[in-house]
Amino acid sequence: LIEMSTKDQIQSLKEGKIDVGFGRLRISDPAVRRVLLREEPLMVAMHSSHPLAMKKEGVFLADIVEENLFVYPSLPKPNFATQIMSLFAEYGLDPKNLREVREIQLALGLTAAGEGICIVPRSAKTIQLPHLHFIPLLDDAAVSPIFLALRSMDESEDIRSLFDCIYQVYDLEAIEYDRAVI
């Protein structure tokens, strides 16, 4: 298991250094095939005393555009922060109180301290900090894709087994997905 950016994964796949990569970015390369595993809903993390925390049904991007917003990671680009900024732009919104931080743990730590809010994938709800509260982001496009990247011509039995394992976990966890054909 090697941690690397999506961009680095593409290069490592082409060089044969890794067999698959997981990421959230839509980077195209003819030598690499991306398989959409699922679209993960986005949530807004905030301090439990934040006025929006009472909106259990969720909020829209327009509701949070004026908030102090932490995005992550700060480098390398493109990244999840780029994806979040593109989501705001898609709705014609431009958050003014934006602060990039190194990683999700720092963003959520500052959020739990009441310094601002943060947009995260729903799976980040497993990160538990005192006073950290999560509510859904209600905009239709408020999802983050999860891709598996592999070499375009790779259709090995190991790759098929990996897909089977992923879908078994999704079934056990009741995670919605469309099964990819490989």
Which band of pLDDT confidence, cut at 50, 70 and 90, is reported for residue 155? confident
d(C-alpha 65, C-alpha 78), whole Å: 21
Q: H/E element holding 89?
A: helix 80-90
Question: In this structure, are residues 52 and 153 in contact, taking their beta carbons and an 8 Å threshold?
Answer: no
Look at residues 107, 115, 121, 114 and name the one whose alpha carbon lies nearest to residue 43.
121
Judge whether residue 182 has pLDDT over 70: no
Q: What is the pLDDT of residues 30-53, one digit of tens each?
A: 999 999 999 999 999 999 999 999
Whole-number pLDDT of residue 181: 67
Q: 35-39, 73-77, 103-107: which range is least confident on average? A: 73-77
Place of tokens 């949070």: 64
Which band of pLDDT confidence, cut at 50, 70 and 90, is reported for residue 176? confident
- Positive or negative, the CA dihedral 32, 14, 79, 36 is positive
Judge whether residue 161 has pLDDT over 80: yes
Residue 35's beta-bridge partner residues? 148
d(C-alpha 172, C-alpha 86), whole Å: 32
Whole-number pLDDT of residue 26: 87
Are β-strands 32-47 and 132-136 bridged in parallel, bridged antiparallel, or unpaired?
antiparallel
Question: Can you tell me whether residue 74 is helix, strand or coil?
Answer: coil
